[in-house]
Amino acid sequence: MSDLPTLDTHIDIRWPNPPDPMAETTMRVDFPKMRKGGLRAAVFVAYLPQGKRDAEGHAAAAERAEAMLAHIRSRADGKARRFCATAAELAALYETDAANGPLGVLSAVENGYAMGRDLSAPARWKAQGACYLTLTHNGHNEIADSAIPRAELGDGPSEHNGLSTFGREAIGALNQAGVMVDISHVAKPAMLQAAELSRSPVLATHACCRALCDHPRNLDDEQLDALRQVGGLVQSTAVMSFLNTTSPTGR
Ligand SMILES: [Zn+2]
Distance 110 CA to ligand 1 centre (A): 7
| Reported confidence tier of residue 80, pLDDT bands at 50, 70, 90 | very high
250 pLDDT above the threshold of 60: no
Residue 244's pLDDT is: 83
Residues 29-78: tens digit of each pLDDT: 999 999 999 999 999 999 999 999 999 999 999 999 999 999 999 999 99
Distance 251 CA to ligand 1 centre (A): 5
Distance 230 CA to ligand 1 centre (A): 22
| Measured distance CA(212)–CA(116) in Å, rounded | 34
Q: What is the mean pLDDT of residues 122-133?
A: 98
Number of Cβ within 10 Å of residue 243's Cβ equals 16
Residue type, 193: Q
Distance 114 CA to ligand 1 centre (A): 14
Residue 42's pLDDT is: 98
CA angle 10, 117, 14 (to 5 degrees): 30
Distance 50 CA to ligand 1 centre (A): 12
- Torsion angle, alpha carbons of 97, 43, 235, 49, to 10: 170
Distance 96 CA to ligand 1 centre (A): 30
Residue 2's pLDDT is: 65
1 pLDDT above the threshold of 90: no
Question: Which CATH class name applies to 7-242?
Answer: alpha beta
Q: What is the mean pLDDT of residues 146-150?
A: 97
170 pLDDT above the threshold of 50: yes
Residues 84-96: tens digit of each pLDDT: 999 999 999 999 9
Question: In the chain, what are the domain boundaries?
Answer: 7-242
Residue 174's pLDDT is: 98
| Measured distance CA(76)–CA(72) in Å, rounded | 8
Residue type, 79: K
Q: Which residues pair with 134 in a beta bridge?
A: 110, 182
182 pLDDT above the threshold of 90: yes
Residue 173's pLDDT is: 98
Residue 251's pLDDT is: 47
Q: Nearest 5°: phi and psi at 8?
A: -95, 120
Q: Which residues pair with 249 in a beta bridge?
A: none
208 in Cβ contact with 236 (< 8 Å): yes
Residue, of 27 and 226, whose pLDDT is higher: 226
Distance 35 CA to ligand 1 centre (A): 24
**Over pLDDT 70: what percentage of the chain?**
97
Q: What is the mean pLDDT of residues 185-198?
A: 98
Residue 240's pLDDT is: 86
